[in-house]
Amino acid sequence: MGTIKCIGILTSGGDAPGMNAAVRAVTRSAIYNGLEVKAIYRGYKGLITGEIETFRTQNVSNIIQQGGTILKTARCKEFMTPEGRQEAYETLQREGIDALVCIGGDGTLTGARIFATEHNYPIVGLPGTIDNDLFGTDSTIGYDTALNTIMDAVDKIRDTATSHERLFFIEVMGRDAGFLALNGAIATGSEAAIIPEIATEYDQLGELIKNGFRKSKNSSIVLVAESPLTGGAMAMAERVKNEYPQYDVRVTILGHIQRGGSPTAFDRILASRMGAAAIDALLEDQRNVMIGIQNDEIVYVPFNKAIKNDKPINRDLLNTLRILSI
Ligand code: ATP
């Protein structure tokens, strides 16, 4: 493009392991290509308040292995108003930032799309969320690490569940998407997954649990995706307790442990590839696109597609889970 001399980078929304690896990749790739890099702290909030620092290669040393985000992250209501976005635009003008790389989830990319259109401003997005709920990419940065964290935690719960012959309902994150619950259930040999994409047939769940214990299973584990559509693990456990008082039912809500920790090799590599691709995209004059990965190839996904389309659950996985939990 030639007109981009300085890029800004920010992380926004919920943090995800691998965001630091992405920040490192964007920074170093930009500098390699002769661009100046300005780090914006606390997401869109920092854009409005002007919390900005020039980054050199050493600012991103020794962070590839760290969870969280060194840029901090925040939710910013002001950015949802035209006045807030105008202030953000004025900051960018003042700082001489010609284009932005925004790392975050669905909300972050929605904000990026609105801002880019409103101010005719070049933005490239990176999918940074443990939920894996962005369309057009096989995986989002942080999803694999969160899945592995769930696996480790459920394995531990299985030990105690088996010793006490208990039925556990374990709630995992996902924000209206069942990827973590479904793949987490397969990875841990859980008996079932309750996910928002598929209406839970409660009778079937009861049968499954009954049959499992009848066949002398020592424990049962059901992963429940947090969502108003599933009602969560607590509500599900209450129902089961009332109907099957013979079972020793327990609930574990994994909570924020799922967001933390050192990113897996998969997430570090994904974030590194995507970060470098974000700079390539800007230099190729791409704008309003999210970097995705499909069949191991980097792709550019228009914001509209990434945000507006619900990413479908692979129903074969549900079938696999059902077959393997007999
Ligand atoms: P996660 O998926 O991990 O929750 P997210 O990026 O979806 O991450 P959100 O809190 O939904 O997290 O969004 C982050 C920020 O993006 C919001 O705080 C807000 O500043 C901005 N944003 C979200 N939706 C909009 C919108 N409709 N218009 C403008 N800005 C928005």
Strands 289-294 and 123-127: parallel
Cβ–Cβ under 8 Å, residues 177 and 311: yes
Based on the domain organization, do 131 and 206 belong to the same domain? no
Q: Give the pLDDT confidence score for residue 1 in this predicted structure.
A: 45
Any domain includes 124? yes
- Does some domain include residue 64? yes
Q: Are residues 124 and 167 in the same domain?
A: no
Ligand 1 is surrounded, with C-beta below 6 A, by 12-14, 44, 75-76, 79-80, 104-108, 110-111, 114, 129, 131, 175
- Residues 163 and 132 grouped into a single domain: no
Contacts of 239 (CB under 8 A, 6+ apart): 202
Mutate to test the pocket of ligand 1, among 41, 77, 80 (most ligand atoms within 8 A of CB): 80
Closest CA to 181 of 209, 157, 146, 156: 146
Gap from CA of 148 to ligand 1 centroid (Å):
25
**Ligand 1: nearest atom to the Cα of 131:** 2
pLDDT tens-digit map of 64-94: 999 999 999 999 999 999 999 999 999 999 9
**Domain check: are 111 and 149 in the same one?**
no
Interval between CA 118 and ligand 1 midpoint (Å) = 17
Q: Which atom of ligand 1 is nearest to the CA of 130?
A: 3
For the chain, counts of helices (H) and of strands (E):
11, 11
pLDDT of residue 281: 98
Give the closest residue (by CA) to ligand 1 atom 26: 111
Report residue 133 as tokens: 């709920």
Identify the segments of the chain with pLDDT beneath 50: 1
C-alpha closest to that of 212 among 156, 168, 147, 264:
168
Give yes or no: residues 138 and 276 share one domain: yes
User: Strands (DSSP E) along the chain, which ranges?
Assistant: 6-11, 36-40, 52-55, 99-104, 123-127, 167-172, 192-194, 220-225, 249-253, 289-294, 297-302
The alpha carbon of 147 and the centre of ligand 1 are apart by a number of angstroms equal to: 22
Ligand 1 mean position, distance from CA 110 (Å): 7
The protein residue with its alpha carbon nearest to ligand 1, atom 16, reads 108
> Ligand 1: distance of its center to the CA of 205 in Å?
35
Of residues 86, 111, 100, the one with CA closest to residue 52: 100
Question: Which residues are the active-site residues?
Answer: 131
The answer to whether 68 and 19 are in contact (CB under 8 A) is yes
Q: What percent of the chain has pLDDT over 90?
A: 82
Number of compact structural domains in the chain = 2
Specify the pTM: 0.96
On whether both 192 and 234 belong to a single domain, the answer is yes
Both 133 and 270 in one domain: the answer is yes
Place of tokens 């939920």: 131
DSSP 218: S
pLDDT at residue 176, as a whole number: 86
Is 215 inside a domain boundary?
A: yes
d(CA 186, CA 322): 9
Q: What is the CATH number of the domain that holds 159?
A: 3.40.50.460
Taking the C-alpha atoms of residue 48 and residue 102, their distance in angstroms, rounded to an integer, is 14
Which atom of ligand 1 is nearest to 85's Cα?
A: 29
Q: In the prediction, which pLDDT does 309 show?
A: 79
Residues with Cβ within 8 Å of residue 134, at least 6 apart in sequence = 105, 106, 109, 127, 140, 290, 292, 306, 307, 311
Dist. CA 276–CA 108, nearest whole Å: 20
Pocket test for ligand 1, best of 48, 110, 119 (most atoms within 8 A of CB): 110
The answer to whether residues 13 and 124 belong to one domain is: yes
| Nearest-atom index, ligand 1, CA of 128 | 3
Q: Classify residue 315: in a domain, yes or no.
A: no
Specify the pLDDT at position 2. Answer: 54
From the number of C-beta atoms within 10 Å of its C-beta (0-12, 13-18, 19+), residue 256 rates as exposed
- Both 123 and 163 in one domain: the answer is no
Percentage of the chain beyond pLDDT 70 is 96
Calpha distance 87→323 (Å, rounded): 55
Residue nearest ligand 1's atom 24 by CA = 107
Q: Do 179 and 68 share a domain, yes or no?
A: no
Q: Using one digit for the tens of pLDDT, what is the confidence trace for 185-229?
A: 999 999 999 999 987 666 677 777 777 666 666 789 999 999 998
**Domain range spanning residue 193?**
145-259
**Tokens found for residue 6:** 């300085």
| Ligand 1 midpoint to CA 44 (Å) | 9
